[in-house]
Each structure stands twice: as structure tokens, then as C-alpha cells.
């Protein structure tokens, strides 16, 4: 017997969500896997005992019966009577619960069933991802759609003209030029979006210099942006034209006014997240999320060393680590930046440009060192990182602003039984389920006030080269954005 459970938060009041789900035949309108459906014998679709007969888009046929329906508890239970799929004794229950703010709904969906031996994993994934997670996305989209509004899909059509910042070759900031570009219509699984704000990140510098070979010049830079969906391609079920969206993903190409991008890397923005905040927060916020909650699951009472604590990622790490109950030490290059780091939760700030910080870390920790070091600096901080690390500590290298790390000696790590990690954001976000969970956690941290991005540096898109110069000079604090 297999048991599959999935839960999600739907950004709509429980009454609105239940009005859709209590209709046993409504899935034909909102579930992307359902082709067509009808209630047998013309019975009401909310009558206990009614049977729905439906076909899936892959050609399979299913008959399901409504077993129980409770308006008081917001619970619906149903079973499969017949199916061309080899699923037997399938019984499922979905239940809604009111979230305390009253404008969101918790949805729990679970089932038990039997399948032929050896196919358990296949059908666990089919039900958990294809049915339940696909259903969550489908209902979210359905609830956002205006009554009677058509879904505009691109079927070929013309390219759109736009302007973009192109790296004409690998090198310094002077290689960046504004050029006219054409943006093709979206194909299957893609969307065409109009950018309203674009994030600038240190990875853009690495790409521009050729340290990360993610483009072949001439080509646009940029991994992160926010904006509005213009058109959706075939097979896209979670996005609609007019949706406010954001993304942070490879390949580069965000330094443009309009772009066609893979839909599975795009998330819909909650109402409480404005476009500029999203462009400043998607890549850096999800980086902070996986560093604190996945690479090293930070525990209350641990001591954290955050390098470049007044940078775009650094400020978010300080804010979130402090909220998790950590003791936070930061490094900055100036007194002004130190003030920003302290305002974001740093208990102690080490100021300097010489990458000498280990002794200060030991002084403030009574000689023990830091339990975890979040390092976006790279080669210049490497030796001091090992010295500053506590026994059994964790050195997490997520960037290389001062240059790439040299090869590490295993023996150097064994001096303190240290753990070393070199994680990459896009390995986490390649799975859409993980991407949405990470983005949701970032948006919730923003809503609750844990994350407080302060956007001080705004540039016109045509001034991208100056934004890169300012970023590399270490004169900026917090996130930088470009405005098309």
C-alpha cells in the first residue's frame, strides 16, 4: 500500500478555494492533466455518491466517486472506481484549513493505493507531482484568472524589438554596450516577459570576465529580473498573461527590456512583493535561503561569520541568521558598511581591506572560532577562513569576489575536522518543486519582516557598465538594480 501526501498554501480565502473544490467536476477547469470530464447520470456535482468520468491529456480514462463532502470541515473524499492506469484501492482526501491571516488557505491532499510491484516509485511521483503538485499550480492559476478572460498563447508570431546590454567580448566593464535585439515568441514550456526591474549580481561580473563561461560574446548578461508576462507557450499551466513574475536562473540574458525564458523557472509574485524588491531579492534571497536552510542548517546559538556583510547577500544572511538565533560576526571594508551590517543584525563587525580577521574572530568567541563561515570573497580570505573556523566547523564558499579559490588540501581541513562546501544556487532551483519552496520561504521572510532589503543603488539599463564598476570597487552596500 502506497501513501502519498502533499500540502500547499493557496493565496486566496478559504471560502473562495472551497467554492471551487467542493464541485466534484471542477477539476476539468483547473487541473492541467485533465482533458474533459462529466458527472454521470446528470447528478449534481456536489452530491455524495456522484461519479465523474474523465479523460487525461495522455489518453488515460478514469471514473471516480465522491464518498464524503463536509462544508463545515472543508473536506472531500473520493475513490477510483475504474481506470486504465494500474492503480487499485485508490482513496484520496483533500482538506482545507484557514491560515491565520484569513486571506490564504492551507490545502492538504493525501491518498492511499496499490500498484504492481516494482512500479511504486513511478506512481508515487505520478500522483505526488503530476496530480497533486500540478493541481496546486493549476488551481492557483485558475483563481488568478479574471472571469471569462481568455488564455493568450503564442503560436509563432513576430519577434519583438527590444534593447539590451551585451558583453561584446570578455573583459572589463567597458565591454558592455547597449544594442537593439529581437525577442522570439515563446515556444512550448516558455513565456515572453517584459522586464520592469533587473538585478545586478557578482555572478554577472564573473560571466562578463569569462570566469564563468555561460555565454559566448556578443551576448546579454544577467540572471535575475522581475516583470510581467506578455505571452505563454504551449504546456505552460501556472502562468497567465498579465501575471507579475520574477526569476533567477541560467542562462544569462536578463539585461534586456523583453525576454523569452523557460516558464518552469518563473514564479508569480505575491501582492506584498513589488517589482524592484523582487529583482533585488530573487537570486540573493534564494542564495541566503539555501545557505542557511539547506547547505548548513543553522541552529540557534551557533556563531556565524558572514563575509561582505554589507553586500547584497551579506545583509540578508545577517538578518536571517539573527532571526534564527545565531550569533553573527561580519566583515566589511568600511565603517559606513559596518553600520549597515550592525543594523542588519551583526553582533560584531570586523572592518578592513586586508583580509585579516581570524584573530578578531577568536577574540570575540573566547578562542573557539566560528561554527560556520559564509564566504563570498574567495582566494584572499582562504587561509584566514581556516584559522577562524571552530573545530568541526563548516566553511561554505558561495562566491569568489577576490578571485577563485586554489585547490584545497584535505589535510588542511583535517586540522579541525572541518567541512567544506561549494554550493551553487541553480542546482537547487533546477527542480521546480524546490524552486517554489525556496521562493515561498523568501517571500514569507519578507512578509514577516525578517528580510529587509534596502535598495540604494538604481541605474538606468544603459548605465549597466557603471553599475559593474561600482560593484567591483566595493563602494556599494546592499542590492543593485537596473531599470529598463
Residue 424: band (very low, low, confident or very high) from pLDDT cuts 50, 70, 90: very high
Mean pLDDT computed over 239-261: 95
Tell me which H or E stretch contains 13: none
Tell me: pLDDT of 147 over 70: no
Residue 156 clears pLDDT 80, i.e. is over it: no
Q: Do residues 306 and 251 both lie within one domain?
A: no
We report the CATH number of the domain holding residue 189 as 3.90.180.10
For residue 422, how far is the Cα from the chain centroid?
19
- Residue 366: which residues within 8 A CB-CB, separation 6 or more? none
Region 124-150: what's the mean pLDDT?
A: 85
Quote the number of domains for the chain: 3
Among 109, 144, 179, identify where a domain stops. 144
Is 261 inside a domain boundary? yes
Average pLDDT over every residue of 174-199:
96
Judgement on whether residues 403 and 372 belong to the same structural domain of the protein: yes
pLDDT at residue 21, as a whole number: 96
Q: Please tell me whether residues 14 and 112 are part of one structural domain.
A: yes
Q: Is residue 476 part of a domain?
A: no
Q: Does residue 124 sit in the same domain as residue 178?
A: no
Least confident of 18-27, 96-105, 318-327: 96-105
Is the pLDDT confidence value at 196 over 60?
yes
- For the chain, give the mean pLDDT: 93
- The reply to whether 374 falls in a domain is yes
Q: Domain check: are 310 and 386 in the same one? A: yes
- Residue scoring higher pLDDT (137 or 306): 306
The answer to whether residues 9 and 132 belong to one domain is: yes
Does 138 lie in the same domain as 8?
A: yes
User: Do 35 and 67 fall within a single domain?
Assistant: yes
Q: Are residues 413 and 310 in the same domain?
A: yes
The continuous run of DSSP H or E covering 268 comes out as strand 266-268
Single residue among 120, 144, 168 that ends a domain in this structure: 144
Write the DSSP string, 200-249. Answer: E-HHHHHHHHTSS----SSEE--SEEEEEEEEE-TT--S--TT-EEEEE-
Predicted local distance difference test score (pLDDT) of residue 158: 84
The answer to whether 91 touches 72, Cβ cutoff 8 Å, is no
Task: Report residue 154's pLDDT band, with 50, 70 and 90 as the boundaries.
Answer: low
As a whole number of angstroms, the distance between CA 167 and CA 465 comes to 10
Reference 238, options 473, 452, 32, 379; nearest CA is: 32
The yes-or-no verdict on residue 326 having pLDDT over 90 is yes
CATH of the domain at 336: 3.40.50.720
Q: Residue 150: inside a domain, yes or no? A: no
The answer to whether residue 288 is domain-embedded is: no
pLDDT for the residue numbered 146:
62
Same domain membership, residue 186 and residue 112: no
- CATH number, position 59: 3.30.530.20
289 domain-assigned: no
Which of 144, 175, 195 delimits the end of a domain? 144
% of the chain with per-residue pLDDT over 90: 85
pLDDT (mean) for 100-109: 87
- Beta strands 457-460 and 61-70 are unpaired
In a domain? residue 445 = yes
Residue pLDDT, tens place only, 213-222: 999 999 999 9
Q: What pLDDT does 149 receive?
A: 57
**Same-domain pairing of 42 and 128:** yes
pLDDT at 265 over 80: yes
Say which residue, 407 or 128, is predicted with more confidence.
Answer: 128
User: 94 Cβ partners below 8 Å, 6+ apart?
Assistant: 21, 75, 76, 107, 108, 109, 110
pLDDT tens digits for 281-316?
999 999 999 999 999 999 999 999 999 999 999 999
Quick check: 160 pLDDT over 60? yes
pLDDT digits (tens, 9 = 90+) for 32-64: 899 999 999 999 999 999 999 999 988 999 999
Say whether pLDDT at 151 is over 60. Answer: no
| Nearest CA among 244, 341, 416 for reference residue 350 | 341
From CA 200, how far away is CA 468, in angstroms rounded? 8
Of 412 and 81, which is predicted with more confidence?
81
**From edge to edge, which strands make up the β-sheet containing 348-351?**
348-351, 327-332, 303-306, 370-375, 389-397, 419-421
In a domain? residue 457: no
* Euclidean distance between CA atoms 432 and 133, whole angstroms: 10
Query: CB within 8 A of 340, min separation 6: which ones?
Result: 310, 315, 332, 454, 477, 478
Same-domain check for residues 198 and 254: yes
Give the pLDDT of residue 404. Answer: 84
* pLDDT tens-digit readout, 436-474: 999 999 999 999 999 999 999 999 999 999 999 999 998
CA distance 168 to 183: 18
In this predicted structure, the answer to whether residue 189 has a pLDDT above a threshold of 60 is yes
Where in the sequence is the domain holding 197, given as residue range(s)?
160-274+436-452
Amino acid at each position: 500500500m502506497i501513501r502519498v501526501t502533499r500540502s500547499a498554501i493557496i493565496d486566496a480565502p478559504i471560502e473562495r478555494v472551497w467554492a471551487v473544490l467542493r464541485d466534484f467536476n471542477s477539476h476539468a477547469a483547473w487541473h492541467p492533466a485533465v482533458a474533459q470530464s462529466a458527472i454521470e447520470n446528470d447528478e449534481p456535482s456536489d452530491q455524495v455518491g456522484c461519479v465523474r468520468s474523465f479523460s487525461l491529456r495522455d489518453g488515460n480514462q478514469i471514473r471516480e466517486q465522491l464518498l464524503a463532502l463536509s462544508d463545515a470541515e472543508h473536506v472531500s473524499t473520493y475513490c477510483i472506481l475504474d481506470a486504465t492506469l494500474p492503480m487499485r484501492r485508490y482513496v484520496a482526501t483533500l482538506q482545507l484549513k484557514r491560515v491565520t491571516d484569513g486571506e490564504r488557505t492551507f490545502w492538504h491532499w493525501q491518498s492511499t493505493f496499490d500498484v504492481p510491484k516494482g512500479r511504486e516509485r513511478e506512481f508515487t511521483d505520478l500522483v505526488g507531482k503530476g496530480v497533486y503538485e500540478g493541481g496546486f499550480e493549476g488551481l492557483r492559476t485558475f483563481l488568478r484568472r479574471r472571469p471569462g478572460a481568455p488564455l493568450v498563447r503564442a503560436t509563432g508570431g513576430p519577434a519583438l524589438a527590444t534593447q539590451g546590454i551585451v558583453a561584446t567580448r570578455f573583459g572589463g566593464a567597458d565591454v558592455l554596450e547597449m544594442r537593439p535585439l529581437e525577442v522570439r515568441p515563446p515556444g512550448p514550456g516558455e513565456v515572453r516577459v517584459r522586464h520592469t526591474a533587473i538585478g545586478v549580481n557578482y555572478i554577472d561580473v564573473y560571466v562578463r570576465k569569462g570566469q564563468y563561461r555561460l555565454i559566448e560574446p556578443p551576448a546579454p548578461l544577467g540572471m535575475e529580473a522581475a516583470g510581467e508576462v506578455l505571452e505563454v507557450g504551449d504546456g505552460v499551466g501556472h502562468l497567465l498573461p498579465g501575471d507579475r513574475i520574477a526569476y533567477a536562473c541560467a542562462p544569462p540574458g536578463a539585461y534586456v527590456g523583453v525576454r523569452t525564458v523557460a516558464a518552469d523557472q518563473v514564479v508569480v509574485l505575491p501582492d506584498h512583493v513589488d517589482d524592484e524588491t523582487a529583482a533585488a531579492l530573487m537570486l540573493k534571497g534564494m542564495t541566503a535561503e539555501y545557505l542557511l536552510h539547506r547547505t548548513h542548517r543553522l541552529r540557534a546559538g551557533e556563531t556565524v561569520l558572514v563575509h561582505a556583510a554589507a553586500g547584497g547577500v551579506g545583509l540578508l544572511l545577517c538578518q536571517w541568521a539573527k532571526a534564527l538565533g545565531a550569533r553573527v560576526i561580519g566583515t566589511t571594508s568600511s565603517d559606513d558598511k559596518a553600520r549597515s551590517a550592525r543594523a542588519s543584525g551583526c553582533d560584531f563587525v570586523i572592518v578592513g581591506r586586508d583580509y585579516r580577521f581570524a584573530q578578531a574572530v577568536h577574540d570575540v568567541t573566547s578562542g573557539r572560532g566560528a561554527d560556520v563561515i559564509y564566504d563570498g570573497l574567495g582566494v584572499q580570505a582562504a587561509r584566514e577562513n581556516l584559522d577562524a573556523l571552530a573545530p568541526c566547523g563548516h566553511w561554505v564558499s558561495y562566491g569568489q569576489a577576490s578571485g577563485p579559490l586554489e585547490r584545497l588540501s584535505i589535510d588542511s581541513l583535517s586540522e579541525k575536522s572541518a567541512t567544506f562546501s561549494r554550493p551553487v544556487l541553480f542546482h537547487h532551483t533546477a527542480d521546480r518543486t524546490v524552486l517554489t519552496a525556496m521562493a515561498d520561504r523568501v517571500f514569507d521572510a519578507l512578509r514577516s519582516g525578517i528580510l529587509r532589503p534596502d535598495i540604494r543603488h538604481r541605474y538606468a539599463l544603459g548605465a549597466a557598465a557603471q553599475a559593474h564598476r561600482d560593484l567591483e570597487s566595493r563602494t556599494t552596500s546592499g542590492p543593485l538594480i537596473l531599470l529598463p
